[in-house]
Homo-oligomer: A and B are copies of this chain.
Amino acid sequence: HLELQQWESSSKTFFSKSKCVKPKVNLDLQKDNPKVVHAFDIEDLGDEAVYCRCWRSKKFPYCDGAHAKHNQETGDNVGPLIIKRKEA
Chain A residues at the B interface, C-beta cutoff of 8 Å: 1, 3-4, 7-8, 11, 14-15, 18-27, 30-31, 33-43, 45, 51-55, 61, 67, 70-71, 73-86
Contact = CB atoms under 8 A, between A and B. Distances in A.
A14 B24 contact: no
B81 A61 contact: yes
Contact of A77 (B31, B74, B75, B81): B31
A31 B65 CA distance: 19
Nearest to A71: B35
B43 A76 contact: no
A8 B67 CA distance: 30
B34 A23 contact: no
